[in-house]
């Protein structure tokens, strides 16, 4: 069933779908090629911005300084939840935000801690998203697909829609 959301409701829906997934494929265009890399989502704030740590020596920082578009792709096949988020990236120079986002696992990538000179705070200002969410169990989804094959209909795919985040 198609369900679109606007503004605060869209942000709430994004948070409910993506926060528990934690990892996304952070996708950009480089030299006319689509390039993706896994990133750990540290926070989705009340405005729908998605926050990450990254190294100051990556292409992500260069892209963010130019305000290049990015896509964040979240996937949780176990729960049949998928989200694609479009936005623009920027580097945020804020010691307060570093403190808020820092966690023990971050130290694996930044051994110097919050004061590591290589640590950069990356914000994706979201604009819109699309989602697919089927809360049914795998067996329910399987039987829905089997029924569709037998009857020549389209299987029920759960909820899907657009999230207007601006």
Which two tokens mark 14?
A: 């994004």
Percent of the chain predicted with pLDDT > 90: 54
Domains belonging to the chain, first-starting first, are 5-164 (2.30.110.10)
pLDDT tens-digit map of 34-89? 999 999 999 999 999 999 999 998 888 877 777 889 999 999 988 888 999 999 99
**54 and 109 Cβ atoms separated by less than 8 Å:** no
d(CA 157, CA 60): 34
132-159 burial by CB neighbour count: b if 16+ within 10 A, else e?
Answer: bbbeeeeeebeebeeeeeeeeeebebbe
pTM for the predicted model, two decimal places: 0.81
> Distances in Å between the alpha carbon of 116 and those of 55, 92, 126, 147, 157?
10, 15, 27, 56, 45
The predicted pLDDT at position 143 comes to 46
Q: Is the pLDDT of residue 144 over 70?
A: no
Task: Find the helix or strand (DSSP H, E) in which 72 lies.
Answer: strand 69-76
Q: Taking phi first (over 0 means left), then psi (-120 to 50 degrees means alpha), and beta for anything else, what does residue 73 get?
A: beta
Q: Is the pLDDT of residue 117 over 70?
A: yes
d(CA 74, CA 50): 12
Q: What share of the chain is helix, strand, coil (3-state, %, to 5)?
A: 30, 40, 30
DSSP 6: E
């Amino acid at each position: 069933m198609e369900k679109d959301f606007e503004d605060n409701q869209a942000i709430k829906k994004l948070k409910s779908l993506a926060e528990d997934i934690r990892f996304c494929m952070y996708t950009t265009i480089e030299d006319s090629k689509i390039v993706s890399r896994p990133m750990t989502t540290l926070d989705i704030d009340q405005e729908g911005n998605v926050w990450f740590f990254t190294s100051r020596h990556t292409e992500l920082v260069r892209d963010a300084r130019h305000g290049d578009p990015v896509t964040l792709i979240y996937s949780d096949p176990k729960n049949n939840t998928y989200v694609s988020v479009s936005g623009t990236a920027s580097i945020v120079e804020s010691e307060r935000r570093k403190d808020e986002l820092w966690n023990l696992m971050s130290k694996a990538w930044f051994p110097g801690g919050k004061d590591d000179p290589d640590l950069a705070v990356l914000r994706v200002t979201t604009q819109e998203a699309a989602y697919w969410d089927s809360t049914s169990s795998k067996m329910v989804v399987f039987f829905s697909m089997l029924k569709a094959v037998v009857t020549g209909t389209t299987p029920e795919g759960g909820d899907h829609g657009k999230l207007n985040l601006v």
